[in-house]
Amino acid sequence: MRMNEVSFDDSRPVDGYGPGFFRVGGEVVAGAVVILPSGVSGWGGYDDRARLLERAGEIDVLFIGTGAEIAQIPGDLRRALEAAGIGVEIAASPAACRTYNVLLSEGRRVGLAALPV
């Protein structure tokens, strides 16, 4: 089997996560996190949508990690994101992080907003 090293260019992959934190590009972010091409920061959860909507032109798809288990997100959040032209994919946070990293490594225009496990 041939192993290839993945290059993320200037993008910031999720290196790890655990109870109450994410490690993104080697830095620990306590609590929920939002990762966009413009940067990484804490996320206030489902009601914190302004930054996501302001940066709609940066991404095609936003992965929303719902914590340890997959759960529904508020319908008004999904509608607002989709109205801004952002595709929304919901998953448990571990799966959202993995999928985000794969698409990021392919050079896709993706973002991640995730609640901790």
Closest CA to 69 of 112, 116, 105, 104: 116
Closest CA to 16 of 107, 98, 105: 98
**pTM for the model:** 0.90
Low-confidence ranges of the chain (pLDDT < 50): 2-8
Burial of 80 (0-12, 13-18, 19+ CB in 10 A): middle
Element (H, E) at 88: strand 87-91
| pLDDT for res 10 | 60
Q: Per the domain annotation, does 1 fall within a domain?
A: no
The tens digit of pLDDT for each residue in 31-59 reads 999 999 999 999 999 999 999 999 999 99
Please tell me the total count of domains within the chain.
1
> CATH number of the domain that 38 lies in?
3.40.1230.10
| pLDDT for res 4 | 45
Domain extent for 106: 14-115
- The conformation of residue 36, written as its DSSP 8-state character, comes to E
Q: Per the domain annotation, does 9 fall within a domain?
A: no
Q: Per the domain annotation, does 96 fall within a domain?
A: yes
| pLDDT for res 2 | 45
Q: Per the domain annotation, does 6 fall within a domain?
A: no
